[in-house]
Amino acid sequence: MVIYVVQSGDSLFSIAREYGVTVELLRAANQILPDQGLVVGQALVIPTDFVTHTVAPGDTLFTIARRYGTTVERLIDLNPLVQSNPNFLRVGQLITVPASEPSRSIVVNGYCYPEIPQSTLDITLPDLTFLSPFSYRVTAEGGLVPIDDARLIASAYRRNVAPVMVITNTRPTGGFDPDLVSTVLNDMTVQRTLIENVANTLNTKHYYGLNIDFEYIPPADREAYNAFLERVVARLRPIGYVLMTAVAPKLSADQPGQLYEAHDYPAHGRLMDYVVIMTYEWGYLYSPPMAVAPVDQVEAVLRYAVTAIPPQKILMGMPNYGYDWTLPHVSGTAASPISNVGAVRLAARTGSPIQFDQVARSPFFNYTAADGARHEVWFEDARSVQAKLNLVDQFGLAGVSYWTINQYFSQNWLVLRSMYDVTKRF
């Protein structure tokens, strides 16, 4: 796999010819519509196994191998002329190198809403370890509001993916409820009822594990939350369930704010099998325009996280969406969510060149709508996906968790497959 950035004058035909692939393959790999033009600055994934490197002054087999993420032995195997004299390279010599090779297996979780199209689910499941349907809402009495998850669970098992039950403290109208979660954490009768209801649902629905996503917990309930997790572990681990939690993206142990304070990283790292760190929403619905998951900010979170949670338990959050903001930004005004594929198609329709922020490692563009309003769009592309996935190896993480998989984004999965194999539990 190669990531190519469209230049002025490029066409699908010229790019396909340069890399020895078909136009049809380029369209399919990048979800390009038949009538959709290319945009300057657009990232394309070229599905090719090998590329040609022209030897430059100072190149050695070692430096070439390091640049392409392969080994000297692999380069020698692929280049018969090099085999006779591996220590001699001449400037201008053409060397065949692997476009990319998986470095190791990682765990991949995908959250989805029950309404995910079956076609999207089927094409995504091969790239997942866990499928996490979102979500069972807890009640103040310790009950669970069910979701229509039978289709999702059955589909997961058919594709060797482990379905994970998600419980949340969300309201029927949306958003997380601090009062509700405080009741659950402090009323032992409610808590015992909830844990038994969870155990029964895991069993009757044939879930493989549990993901607890309690957010906006009152800071005073930090220890109560830890104690709740202890009780969940004591009830469910002996009968074989995988356990995980989702936590806010903290930069330090004492980071202030209700989103952060009750999420005790060391406690979660000690108790859970996996901890999903929600490393997204720097750019969010009501924020000024910016990247949803700037790599520099994600890296800062992980730098703290690995000091508090064993890296082999961490699943780094990956956003699968962007936002379209109206300019100038007015506080309290919401942006419009947009899919990554939809963002590129919007750029093509409006003839808007795509730019790439080198600090955030994220693409964005500006356009003028039909009503004359200026807009700014931030989204994800193959380059931003690759930059974030590089952090998995950099920090030795267990893997990643996608929010959400409801919109299929082929570039993401092509990049993921080029870098890592996906762990399967059975």
pLDDT tens column, 133-190:
999 999 999 999 999 999 999 999 999 999 999 999 999 999 999 999 999 999 999 9
What's the whole-number mean pLDDT along residues 337-344? 98
Angle (nearest 5°) at CA 59 between 57 and 62: 170
What's the whole-number mean pLDDT along residues 300-306? 98
Burial of 410 by CB count in 10 Å (0-12 exposed, 13-18 middle, 19+ buried)?
middle
Instruction: Give the pLDDT confidence score for residue 288 in this predicted structure.
Output: 98
Work out the pLDDT band at 67, boundaries 50, 70, 90.
confident
What's the whole-number mean pLDDT along residues 261-280? 98
**Helix or strand holding residue 368 (H, E):** strand 362-368
Work out the pLDDT band at 20, boundaries 50, 70, 90.
confident
Work out the pLDDT band at 198, boundaries 50, 70, 90.
very high
DSSP string, 107-122: EEEEEE-TT--HHHHH
> pTM to 2 decimals?
0.93
Instruction: Give the pLDDT confidence score for residue 87 in this predicted structure.
Output: 82
pLDDT-above-70 percentage for the chain: 100
Residue 292 has pLDDT above 80, yes or no: yes
Nearest to 415 by CA among 328, 318, 330: 318
List, in order of start, the domains of the chain with CATH numbers: 2-98 (3.10.350.10), 104-319+382-422 (3.20.20.80)
Cis peptide, bond prior to residue 404, ω within 30 of zero: yes
Work out the pLDDT band at 410, boundaries 50, 70, 90.
very high
Instruction: Give the pLDDT confidence score for residue 422 in this predicted structure.
Output: 98
Secondary structure (3-state) at 233:
helix
Distances in whole angstroms, Cα of residue 405 to Cα of each of 23, 72, 129, 334: 26, 37, 13, 23
Specify whether 215 is catalytic: yes
**Helix or strand holding residue 343 (H, E):** helix 340-350
Catalytic residue among 24, 73, 141, 215: 215
Tell me what the pLDDT averaged over the chain comes to: 96
Instruction: Give the pLDDT confidence score for residue 66 in this predicted structure.
Output: 83
Question: Taking a C-beta distance cutoff of 8 angstroms, is the pair 363, 291 a contact?
Answer: no
Question: Taking a C-beta distance cutoff of 8 angstroms, is the pair 229, 266 a contact?
Answer: no
Work out the pLDDT band at 70, boundaries 50, 70, 90.
confident
Work out the pLDDT band at 80, boundaries 50, 70, 90.
confident
Residue 416 has pLDDT above 90, yes or no: yes
**Token pair for residue 100?**
């990319």
Instruction: Give the pLDDT confidence score for residue 101 in this predicted structure.
Output: 81
CA gyration radius, the chain: 23
Where are the extended beta strands (E) located within 115-239?
A: 130-133, 136-138, 144-145, 162-168, 209-213
What's the whole-number mean pLDDT along residues 329-341? 97
Q: Determine which of 60-74, 130-144, 243-257 has the lowest per-residue pLDDT on average.
A: 60-74
Distance between CA atoms of residues 379 and 355, nearest Å: 11
